[in-house]
Copies of this chain bind each other. A is one copy, B any other.
Amino acid sequence: MEIRSFYPQPRLLMGPGPSDVSDRVLSALSRPTIGHLDPDFIFLMDEIKLLLQYAFQTDNALTLPVSAPGSAGMETVFVNLIEPGDKVVVCRNGAFGERMRENVVRCGGHAVMVDSKWGEAVQLDQLERALDDNPDAVAVAAVHAETSTGVCSDVQAIATLADKHNCLSIIDAVTSLGGIPVKVDEWGIDAIYSGTQKCLSCVPGLSPVSFNDKAVQRITARKHPVQSWFLDLNLVIGYWGKGSQTGGKRSYHHTAPVNNLYALHESLLMLKEETLSASWQRHQLNHQALKAGIECLGLSFAVSADVRLPQLNTINVPEGVNEAQLRQQLLNDWQIEIGAGLGDLAGKVWRIGLMGHSASQPKVLTLISALAACLVAQGGSVDSLAAVKSATKVYESAGN
């Protein structure tokens, strides 16, 4: 078998992630590799911490990117905060709530589940009942933006409830960070993790995390050692430093993914230049335009408007349409990737991501045209131009 250099076909990434990565970030990614203990690199690490604090809206000293994808960020939070025998209330309204439960159990913890249907937000009254019934719980875990369903839960209220019941709040912000407001300090979130390949539009492979003092106290007061050596924050802190305390001294823990950190720095810098509020508005605007367009095509949302994520749109597959065939055609003819449904929603929905660099007018208009063409190819009767026009109107009213 002859193997040659790999040149990917350029795609429009409008699925559940990764999202399109800008040339600016790709260019940063490919700058020459330097050592992970190089003074210049230590300087870069300090800037990344500052930029992450801005993205998370926090002053938490323990704010850093874990050297592996979002799933490892999730695991970092659980293995450091949860000890064997700990009871954790886990809110599950999709695939990533289930993954949180898996993490609790593998840490030797006991998970009390607060279940909502796929496609619904976490029910606060249910959560409160679970907390009342389990006064010995030590933490509440919930997903802010459920990537499997496109649902936004009220994590500010969840964090408040957790605090009221003397629990730490653990929040999954993989798909929310940069796309919708995430205000760690103002909302009183104790521990949070995210990913780089969603609304930050960086390459996949890193997972930003942040812990407040209450969470750090829990880590330092552990009775059992952290089960993971690689993710043990007591060791990672020695390399990344815990704010000003380290005085610039760094000790080797593992070889950091140097080039990925160049890219993260650049993508966070772009977010800072745009500002968080402008980024949130951009995601919302593109969502509204997509909504106008697809509703004109006769498509509908699987999630009710009050809990709908702008950056992840779950669209019902209409009667008589072959969902896999349509995705295939989008990929083959238009080079556009959208996502399939997961779990309870498999075969029933498409997941359209408008994340980071993918949340832009030309991409949304292209997607609407492409969807129209694919629906027509399956015998549908839709007005492509009208759909594009109604989306365009949304941009125009916003002054774009």
Residue numbers of A with Cβ under 8 A of B are 1, 3-11, 13, 15, 17-18, 20-21, 24, 26-36, 38-41, 44, 47, 50-51, 67-72, 74-75, 99, 102-103, 105-107, 195, 197, 203-205, 225-230, 252-260, 262, 265-266, 269, 272, 331, 337, 342
Contact = CB atoms under 8 A, between A and B. Distances in A.
B38 A30 contact: no
Contact of A35 (B1, B11, B31, B258): B11
For the complex of A and B, 7 pairs with smallest distance between CB atoms: A205-B257, A30-B30, A68-B68, A71-B254, A26-B30, A204-B255, A203-B259
A266 B204 contact: no
A47 B4 CA distance: 9
Residue of A15, A28, A205 ringed by the most chain B CB atoms within 10 A? A205
A291 to B, nearest CB: 23
A113 to B, nearest CB: 17
Contact of A18 (B8, B67, B229, B255): B255
A272 B3 contact: yes
A36 B38 CA distance: 32
B26 A32 contact: yes
Nearest to A263: B259
A30 B11 CA distance: 14
B28 A27 contact: no
Chain A facing B: main interface SS: loop
Given A26-B259, A203-B260, 20 more contacts: A3-B269, A5-B24, A6-B47, A18-B35, A26-B32, A29-B259, A35-B337, A38-B331, A38-B337, A69-B255, A75-B230, A106-B225, A106-B226, A107-B227, A195-B255, A204-B256, A204-B259, A205-B205, A205-B260, A227-B227
Contacts of A15: 35
A15 B70 CA distance: 30
12 contacts: A6-B28, A6-B262, A8-B34, A9-B40, A11-B35, A13-B33, A18-B33, A29-B30, A67-B68, A68-B68, A69-B257, A74-B229
Contact of A203 (B33, B72, B107, B229): B33
A95 to B, nearest CB: 9
A214 to B, nearest CB: 25
A38 B17 CA distance: 12
A21 B4 CA distance: 19
A68 B225 CA distance: 22
Most buried by B among A17, A103, A107, A204: A204
B34 A9 contact: yes
B34 A337 contact: yes
A56 B39 CA distance: 34
A31 B7 contact: yes
A228 B102 CA distance: 10
Nearest to A71: B254
Contacts of A106: 225-229
Contact of A265 (B6, B28, B253): B6
Given A71-B229, A255-B204, A257-B69, A31 B18 contact: no
A303 to B, nearest CB: 20
A353 to B, nearest CB: 10
Nearest to A35: B337
A41 B33 CA distance: 24
A21 B33 contact: yes
A257 B50 contact: no
Contacts of A13: 33-35
